[in-house]
Structure 1
Amino acid sequence: MSFWTAIVLIVIIGCVTSVLQERYKGKRGVTTDWMGNERINAPLEDPAEKAAREREIADLRERVKVLERIITEDRDTKRLSAEIDSLRDR
C-alpha cells in the first residue's frame, strides 16, 4: 500500500465516522447551533401517552379532594383522632 492510499483511507474513515456520529446524535435529538453548541431537544410526545397521563392526574386530584373532605369533616373529628392515635400506638 502506498503512502497516498493510506492517506485516502484515513480520510474516508474519518468522514464515515463523522457521518455516523451525526446520525446517532440526530436519532437521540441532539442538535448543534451555528456556534457548535450541542442541545438536546425533547422528543415528540405520543398523544395517547399524554391523554393517559392527563386522566391519571385528574383521578389523583379527585382522590385528593375526597381525602380532604374526609379529613375536614367536623362531626367525625374526634373519632378520626382516636383512630389515628390507636394506629400510632401499634
Structure 2
Amino acid sequence: MDWGSPVFVLAIIALSYSCWLVNNWIRAKNGYALENEWGGTTEKSNTVEAQQLRAENRELLKKLDTMQDRMIVLEKIVTDRGYSLSEEIEALRDKRGDETGSVMSLDFSNKETA
C-alpha cells in the first residue's frame, strides 16, 4: 500500500469519523454530554431546566393566545364603535336642529375678505 496515496488519506478520515460517531453513540446511550464538531459538549435536553423552560414556553404561548383574542375583541369594539358614534352624533345634530327649527351650519373655508 502506498502511504502517500489519496486512498490512504481518505481511509484515515473515514476511520476517524466513524470512531467519533461510535464515541458519541456510547455517550448518548449512557447519558453523558455529547461532543459537537468543534470539540465542545452538548448537554442532554431532557434536564430539569429544559423541562421548566418547556413549561414556561407553554404558559407564555397560552397567554399570547388569550392576548390575541382580546386584541381582536378590542379592534372590533374600536372600529364598530367609531362608526356608530359618528352616526349618533349626526342623529343628535339632526334632532337638535329639528327642535330649534333651524340648523346653524358652520363654514370653515378660507374666504378672503376684500
Range class of TM-score, shorter chain? 0.3 to 0.5
TM-score, L = length of structure 2: 0.33
- Structure with higher Rg: it is 2
